[in-house]
Structure 1
Amino acid sequence: MRAVITAATGMAAQELNVQVISNNIANLRTTGYKKQRAAFQDLIYDHVRRVGAQASDQGTILPVGVDLGGGVKTVGTPRLMGQGTLLPTGNELDIAIRGEGFFKIQVPDGTYAYTRDGSFMMDAQGRIVNAQGNPVQPTVTVPNNSSGLTINAQGQVSVLLPGSTTPTTVGQIGLTRFINKAGLKPIGDNLFQDTPASGAPQDGIANTDGFGDMQQSNLEQSNVEVVTEISDLIAAQRAYEMNAKVVSAADQMLQATSQMFR
């Protein structure tokens, strides 16, 4: 019976929907996390009677047709790149981006990845690195005898050297943006890679040419909204239950039909 197969596609779609929602909720406290949503489309139709077809020898036209849908399919899990709330941390190496842009990170294989997670640290060489020890680009090295590290809105890193009362600039943290941010590929560890869908990376300086600015001693929180996710979860659960009811009803109808021929 066609209804069983159609309802089964609906159950599979809502199962995936719940998986996406659960990942959003799991990353509620993940720095710089961008939530996803499941996107669906209806499947191809079986046109039993085509609308607009000739209905008689007199040339009358069918005003409506008989179109039987095949169910639903998943077309993507787009990532929503809206700004997250900035949370003050008091840590001088924490940086939040307010506006457009990603931090550029050099990964061990020599390629680059991109992140909104600005919870940086310093390695044994004095380089500013992410939680995995990968250096922020361009590489910034802080002298080991310096103090008073500051990072301004444009990403310039300045310190006070011994015997000096004037800040010395030791590096510049850059930003990178993409034409289609949703086309970035997530690879874990709060990192993304560029893809043909995202467009080529465009490097620049914070607070110039449309790039966002940097906020020292702040971190961007996840943009997941708890109330919205719980509401979506309840709706997905109810949709799954209704599709399961359809399967059960279709099964009962098949049993009734079978008994008629006994």
Structure 2
Amino acid sequence: MPSSALHVARTGLEAQDARMRVIANNLANVGTTGFKRDRANFATLAYQDARVAGAQSSNETTYATGLNLGTGVGIQSTTRIETQGTLETTGNTLDLALDGDGYFQVQLPGGQLGYTRAGNFTRSSEGQLVTTQGYIVQPPITIPEGTTSISISDDGTVSASVAGQTDAAQLGQITVASFANPGGLQAAADNFMLETGASGQAQIGIAGENGRGHIKQGMLEGSNVNIVEELVDMIETQRAYEINSKMISAVDEMLRNANQTL
């Protein structure tokens, strides 16, 4: 029994360590544009059924309750919380935020598409709308030389005033990707998400239609991390870690006494 209790306590330590890593990552990204906080999900490990409820207790009766001994806890998954972050006005013409659901599309090296809520875009030397890493926003938007101002409407239509031209030139339209299960997207580096079988295929459409968010020019979406909530979770995790550590010490003491006695 003591060795079984020791195993349970150790699984508790491992689970709380994983939870602390999730909390630490959330706090580390509190200032990351478009970041969505994660939550650790746990599940009980297999139970040892010493006595099954409903089994015969005599020729005429059955046990009303069983005797089930748990073997600990393990981390089951992490869930990304997709709530909207605060929209912050930057005044930068090429900063874009999504007010609502959806993702911007970006072509990653190798041709794979990445999806992001971070709309801190810029203009490349060739005039293309790109991320800070130089990845091209999809569909491609090329800003001509001599552009004096750029206007991006809520539906993603990009127009530019060019020196020497009286009418504004329409450069294209930024579309928005949505997913049946955005929680199934795979997190990657540099604020990008990747499509998976769990997320379903990207559904590309116009911003503001079919549940997609509107595009807001001159704004960025902040992280949805709530510092107070994360600190409360951190304190709770620390307490749980301490309790499991004390349990290990207590079980070690029981085993030491048993060995000395025997």
Tell me the TM-score normalized by structure 1: 0.97
Amino acid at match of 1:28: V
Instruction: Report the CA distance between 1:163 and its aligned residue.
Output: 3.2
Give 1:29 deviation, angstroms. Answer: 0.1
1: CA distance, partners of 2:80 / 2:158: 31
- What are the within-5 Å matches in structure 2 for residues 172-183 of structure 1? 172-183=173-184
For 1:43 and 1:142, how far apart are their aligned partners in 2? 56
Corresponding residue for residue 24 of structure 1: 26
Number of positions where the alignment pairs a residue of Structure 1 with one of Structure 2: 260
Give the distance between the partners of 1:65 and 1:107, measured in 2 at CA. 55
Unaligned runs of 5+ in 2: none
One-letter amino acid of the counterpart of residue 67, structure 1: N
1:24 Cα deviation after fit: 0.4
- CA deviation map 1:22-61 (0-9, x unaligned): 000000000000110110000110011111111012x211
**2:46 paired with 1:44:** yes
Q: Secondary structure at the match of 1:78?
A: strand
- Are 1:70 and 2:74 an aligned pair? no
RMSD: 0.9
Note the residue ranges of structure 1 that are not aligned, 5 or more in a row.
none
Aligned match of 2:17: 15
* Residue 122 of structure 1: aligned partner: 123
Distance 1:139 1:255 in 2: 69
User: CA–CA distance in 1 between the matches of 2:74 and 2:62?
Assistant: 32
Which residue is 1:56 aligned to?
58
Q: Which amino acid aligns with 2:63?
A: L
Distance 1:208 1:145 in 2: 33
Q: Report the alpha carbon displacement of residue 71 of structure 1 after superposing the two structures with TM.
A: 0.2
Mapped partners of 1:133, 1:34: distance in 2: 23
Question: Which one of 1, 4, 11 corresponds to residue 2 of structure 1?
Answer: 4
Distance 2:81 2:210 in 1: 23
The reply to whether residue 255 of structure 1 matches residue 256 of structure 2 is yes
In 1: Cα distance, 2:122 partner to 2:218 partner: 12
Encode CA deviations 1:204-229: one digit per residue, 9 max, x unaligned: 11012221100000000000000010
| TM-score for both structures, normalised by structure 2 | 0.97
Could you report, residue by residue, the CA deviation over 1:74-112 in whole angstroms, capped at 9, with x for unpaired residues? 111111111100000010000000001100001120111
Map Cα deviations across residues 195-253 of structure 1 (whole Å, 9 max, x no partner): 00000110011012221100000000000000010000010111011011111111111
C-alpha distance in 2, partners of 1:65/1:100? 47
- What secondary structure is seen at the aligned counterpart in 2 of 1:238? helix
Percent same amino acid at aligned positions?
A: 43
